[in-house]
Structure 1
């Protein structure tokens, strides 16, 4: 379960980092895509939790 949260953050931040290097917008895309990865990971963790 921990990789469910960390994976999307790492992938989003890495994609943002390389896009930042390509379009020279440091650090904005890494921050934005990292945040989107955080919300996607959080959503997936909450989806996998057992509901009452």
Structure 2
């Protein structure tokens, strides 16, 4: 076996990227999510469901 064949066989394969890419700060998403939670809780309280 030649040296070149061994290096090609043991070369690590590139892995595909897993998961979503980070597209910016998450602070705005958290703020919007908690705002939605508070609004739904206020609506449920006003309707007498809670």
User: Normalising TM by the smaller chain, what interval?
Assistant: 0.3 to 0.5
TM-score when scaled to structure 2? Answer: 0.47
Greater C-alpha Rg = 2
TM-score when scaled to structure 1? Answer: 0.46
Return the structure number with greater relative CO, CA threshold 8 A, min gap 6.
1
Indicate the structure with greater helix content. 1
